[in-house]
Structure 1
Amino acid sequence: MKLIILIIFFSSFLHTDSEHKPIEFTYGSHEKQKIDLYLGNSDKVLVWIHGGGWLFGDKSAKRWVRRFQNHFADHAELNVFMIGYRVGENTAPYAVDDVLCAYKKIEEEIESRGFSKKDIIVAGASAGGHLALFLSLSKQKISNKSCLLDLKPKAVVNLFGITEIEQTYKYLDETKFFSLSNYVRRWIPDEKKISEVTKELSPLYLADNQNIKVLTIHGTNDVWVPYSQAELLDQKLKDKHVLHTVVGGGHYGFSEEEDQAIRNKIKNFITEVHL
C-alpha cells in the first residue's frame, strides 16, 4: 500500500552529501516560510516539522537533522519535506498557520511530482509534535482560508509534543527557576489570554470524533514537556492511541537502547497503519 508520511518537528535524516542537496521552495514571503524537499527513490512522502518551543529552530539545522535521522532510520526511499515556519517570542499562532499553509503547498508538490496521495502520516517532536497533532486533528481552524487542506492525514507520530498548552504553561512556572524558561509564556503575546489560546490551539480539545491513529513517544522524566501531556492524550484517544513510555527518559538524550526501541516502535507503527 502506498504511503505518505508527514512529519512535523525538526530532526535529522536528510542526505547531506553534495549529491543529495534539497530542493527549496517557498509558501510565503517570510524568510522562514520555506520547505526543503529531499528526493527519494519512490513515490512515498514524509513531512517533518522541527521543534524548539515555537521560539527557535530552522528546517536545515544540523541539530534537528541528526535528531530526525536518529529516530526515523528507514527514510532512504522517501521523498522528505522538511517544513520551516515562523518562530520567536510573541508569535503565536503563526507557527500553526504556517504549518497548515506549508502542508497545502506540499499537497501541490505531491500532485505535480506524481507522489502518492494516500495514507498520509504526520510526525513531529516537542513543539513540532504539537504542530503535527494540530495539523492532523484540527478541523481547518485557520485564519488563511486559502490554506484549507484536501489530503487528510491517516496517522500521526508524536514525539513528546505539547497536547494541552495551559497545563504545560503552569508546569513550567512551577518547575523552572527562571521565567524565561517558560517557552509557552514567551510564545503567546501579552494581549492574548492563555485560556483562550489553550482552547484554540491545544490538540487535546480537537481530538473528538477523529478517525486517526496516533503514536506518542514520551519519557517519564521529561522536564520540558511533562509526561502527563502524553497521558492526557492517551485518555482522550483511547484505542486510537499507542503510547510508548520511556521509563526514566527525558526530553531527547535517550540511551542507545532506548533510541533503538523508539526506532522499532515507529517502524512497526507505520507498517501496521498501512496494512
Structure 2
Amino acid sequence: MPPSPALRPHLAPPDPATLPLPPAAEPEDGVRLLRAVPYAVRSGSRPLALDLWFPAGPQAAPLPVIVFLHGGGWRTGLRDRLGPRFRDWRPGPFARLVRAGFAVACPDYRLSGEATHPAQLDDVTAALGWLRARAGELGLDERRVVTWGESAGGHLAALLALTARPAVAGCVVWYGPADLATTPADPTDPGTPEGLLLGAAPADVPERARAASPVAHVTADAPPFLILHGTEDSAVPFAQGEALAAALHAAGAEADFRPVPGADHVWVGLAEEEVEEVFAASLDFARRHTAEIPA
C-alpha cells in the first residue's frame, strides 16, 4: 500500500541545507570543529557528511574556505586525513590551515565500491553547494574557495575546480591522476582503481574515461592551479602532473607545476623539512589566490 499524501512528506529525505548544525568541539587551541555535518541525504545511499574546521571566536569578516578531498584510490580513505606523512603533526594540518585564517571543509564522497563515476564528482559538487548555501550562517566567503586534494582526492579537486559554477578561486593538486585512460599500468584491467571507478577497464570505455579525466575539462576559464608531483611516484606516474599542467598551459590558464625531486607517492622519500615545504607552498598558494578577491 502506498503511503498516504499526508504521510509522504514525512518520509522524504531531510534537506541538509536546513538541518541544525552539531555542537562544536575544540580539538586544538583556537580551533573549532563541526564534525560529521550531513551535506547530502539521498534515497538509497548512506548520508554524506563533512567536517568543518574554523577559528575559535568571532570573525571580523567572512572566512576564505579550503575544500580538502582525501585520497585512497577512490576505494578507501578518511575525510580527516591529509595523508600519512601528516598523521603525527602537532598541531595537525587542518588546525594549521585554520590558524592561517581559513575555514576547512573535509567532505566524504561515495567510494568506488558504492558507486561509479560521476557519483564522486556529484558528491563533492553537492558539498560545495551546501557550503555556499550556508555561507552566511557559517561566516564563510563563498567566493574565496580553494579546492585541494591528494591522489584520488587531487583528481576530484581538479574536476571540481574545472566544473564548479560559479568558479572557485584556485586548486591545489598533490600527485593526482589527470587522464584516466593513461594512468593505470594496464588500461585493459577492470580491477585497477581507475577501472573500479569507471565500472569497466578504461580501454573498454574510452568516452567514460575521458569524461572522468580533468584534462578533458580544461578551458581558458579554469582557475589557477598549483600542481605538485613527486618525480619518483610509483602509484600515479609523474607524467600525470605534467599532462594536467600542459593542458592548462595550452588553454591559456594559469598553472604552477612543481616537480618534487625524489618523492614517491604520498611524499614517501622526502625528509620532514621537505614535507613542511610542500605544505607551506600549498598554503601560500591558497593565501595568494583568496587574497586577490577582497573580503
Query: What range is the shorter-chain TM-score in?
Result: 0.7 to 0.9
Q: Which of structures 1 and 2 has the bigger CA Rg?
A: 2
Equivalence for 2:98: 75
- Which structure 2 residue ranges, 5 or more long, are not aligned? 1-24
User: In the superposition, relative to structure 1, how do residues 205 and 63 fare at CA in structure 2: closer, same or farther (>3 Å)?
Assistant: closer
User: In the superposition, relative to structure 1, how do residues 122 and 48 fare at CA in structure 2: closer, same or farther (>3 Å)?
Assistant: same
Equivalence for 1:28: 41
- State the TM-score, normalized to the length of structure 1: 0.78
**1:71 to partner: Cα distance:** 8.7
Partners of 1:120 and 1:160 in 2: how far apart? 21
Equivalence for 1:3: none
Q: Which of 245, 257, 264 is the equivalent residue of 2:273? A: 257
Cα deviation digits, residues 191-229 of structure 1 (max 9, x gap): 984312222111101102224100001001111111000
The correspondence of residues 200-219 of structure 1 with structure 2, limited to 5 A, is: 200-219=211-230
Paired residues of 2:53 and 2:95 also in contact (CA < 8 A):
no
SS in 2 for 1:233: helix
**1:101 to partner: Cα distance:** 1.2
Q: Is 1:266 aligned to residue 282 of structure 2? A: yes
When structure 1 is superposed on structure 2, of 183-192 and 210-219 the one drifting more is 183-192
**1:98 to partner: Cα distance:** 0.9
User: In the superposition, relative to structure 1, how do residues 47 and 62 fare at CA in structure 2: closer, same or farther (>3 Å)?
Assistant: closer
When structure 1 is superposed on structure 2, of 202-211 and 252-261 the one drifting more is 252-261
Cα deviation digits, residues 159-195 of structure 1 (max 9, x gap): 11111011002x3569xxx985x21122221398431
Q: Is 1:49 aligned to residue 69 of structure 2? A: yes
SS in 2 for 1:86: coil
Partners of 1:263 and 1:61 in 2: how far apart? 14
**1:107 to partner: Cα distance:** 1.0
Partners of 1:21 and 1:232 in 2: how far apart? 37
User: In the superposition, relative to structure 1, how do residues 150 and 246 fare at CA in structure 2: closer, same or farther (>3 Å)?
Assistant: closer
When structure 1 is superposed on structure 2, of 112-121 and 102-111 the one drifting more is 112-121
Partners of 2:241 and 2:94 in 1: how far apart? 18
Structure number with higher helix proportion: 1
Equivalence for 1:224: 235
Equivalence for 1:106: 131
Q: Given residue 85 of structure 1, which amino acid in structure 2 is its aligned partner?
A: Y
Paired residues of 1:129 and 1:162 also in contact (CA < 8 A):
yes
Aligned residues: CA RMSD = 3.1
User: In the superposition, relative to structure 1, how do residues 173 and 200 fare at CA in structure 2: closer, same or farther (>3 Å)?
Assistant: closer
Partners of 2:178 and 2:201 in 1: how far apart? 22
Equivalence for 2:122: 97
Equivalence for 2:170: 155
**1:270 to partner: Cα distance:** 2.5
Partners of 1:78 and 1:271 in 2: how far apart? 9
Higher RCO (CA < 8 A, seq sep 6+): 1
**1:158 to partner: Cα distance:** 0.7
- Which structure 1 residue ranges, 5 or more long, are not aligned? 1-13, 139-148
Q: Given residue 55 of structure 2, which amino acid in structure 1 is its aligned partner?
A: G
Q: Is 1:16 aligned to residue 27 of structure 2? A: yes
- State the TM-score, normalized to the length of structure 2: 0.73
Paired residues of 1:25 and 1:35 also in contact (CA < 8 A):
yes
Paired residues of 1:35 and 1:82 also in contact (CA < 8 A):
yes
Partners of 1:156 and 1:246 in 2: how far apart? 18
Equivalence for 2:262: 248
User: In the superposition, relative to structure 1, how do residues 203 and 36 fare at CA in structure 2: closer, same or farther (>3 Å)?
Assistant: same
